[in-house]
Structure 1
Amino acid sequence: MTTVEICVSDVPTALVAEAAGADRLELCADLGQGGTTPSLGAVEIALRSLRTAGVRIMVRPRGGDFRVGELEEQVMLADIAAIRALPNPHGLALGVVVGAVTDGAELDLAVLRRLIEAAGPLPVTVHKAFDEVPDQFTALEQIIELGADAVLTSGAARTALDGAARLAALRQRAGDRLRVIAAGGIRSHNVRLVLAQTGAQEVHLRAPVLRDGREATDAAEVRRVVDAARAA
């Protein structure tokens, strides 16, 4: 069965996505910057309020590039420790999302190793920083070796459909060693095509809609995506 992960920016949008059938949520702040670490209060209330959806927490101290300085790493490590310490009263499948690259556009293995070790039992997704690395097949093996649980990628293309061939190849290389989550421009009208062309078993997307001048989650679009993915 296909897993549908919806990127959300706060607790209300998380609850909307869960009610609409999302299997998993990626909780972030500042989606205009590509997503940064949400407040610990938001994470705590999300864990208290949600009932069924898995939750992945973005751990990224700022927008911009994916280079991680020493102090930024310390912040990320502290955030991971704080997330691990929060109560999870409903036993939701909780994990974190991280990424780091070097000035030479390779994975920053030293930083990633420390972040993954800090996560301990929490599963770790490596986010689309992965798409900045030219040799994605080597990077895939490195992520597997580090012990990450999943990688989020469009196959280094603008959208998942544009990168479908690469996504299919990455998924084949990963086998059952790592989950490859397809992302980038996925919507209800094309999710079945993405699944068919990539062989992906997990998709990631936002379902934004403007309400009262602010971005919310479009419950109807989430339902359409979930229904289309199930039908595929």
Structure 2
Amino acid sequence: MDLDLVADCGRCSGLCCVAPAFARSADFALDKPAETPCPNLRVAVPGRSDAPCGIHGELLDRGFPGCVAFDCFGAGQRVTADWRDGPGAARAAFDSFAVLRGLHEMLWYLSEPLPELAPALGEEVAAAAARVARLAEEPLAGVDVDTVRGEVGALLGRVSEAVRGPAARGHARADLVGQDLRGGRAARRALTGTTLRGALLMGADLRGVDLGRADLLGADLRGADLRGTGLARVFFLTGPQVSAARGDATTTLPARVRRPAAWSS
């Protein structure tokens, strides 16, 4: 598998600013129907020039944190059809983008470096990654992303248990919105190596907590305070998750997750 899972916006036609629907909320300052360009998108004349966001450097100040947190995992630059070339090309571009983004996100999780996996389980993960990568290279019209996601999700659940241990405490899908999770030593130890898969952590206080080998797949970290938090050894963490949270220069991250620029100041 050699697919690039890092977005290269300079090689995309602004699909993430066109294909999704936006609802006015704390994440987006306006309503935008699906498959309609955001009014902040500088739509270039078809001719392969960029269509950059006109307020890219001011997204947070202008009420668009959802845009800052979005990541296509490198799917956008692989869409060959250009939505600016007419209805037929637009339909092909939007459909391809939806499928490829789902497949690339799964590949992000399947490519997680986990040397502690038993060889047999590691081979299953490698085989699943190869299969998803093949799907991303083949005609996309017949790909059932939801079915593939369900199969990959079940495998990743087994991976999580193998890495954390079957007896590890779990907080999967827990509602931890706004909670102070620093607690005492025992409380912090309970979070080390736990599963926070799908947990709601919006606005939670995790300052100074070392999450160790915690599973963060799908955890909602919007507005979570991660200043000084130890995330270097967690797994299934993505760029959109950290971009939606608050961190600083003392927050540690896995090597492959980019540190948001705002965290360094």
Which structure carries more relative contact order (alpha carbon 8 Å, separation 6+)?
1
**Richer in helix (by share):** 1
The TM-score, its normalising length taken from structure 1, stands at 0.28
User: Higher Cα Rg: structure 1 or 2?
Assistant: 2
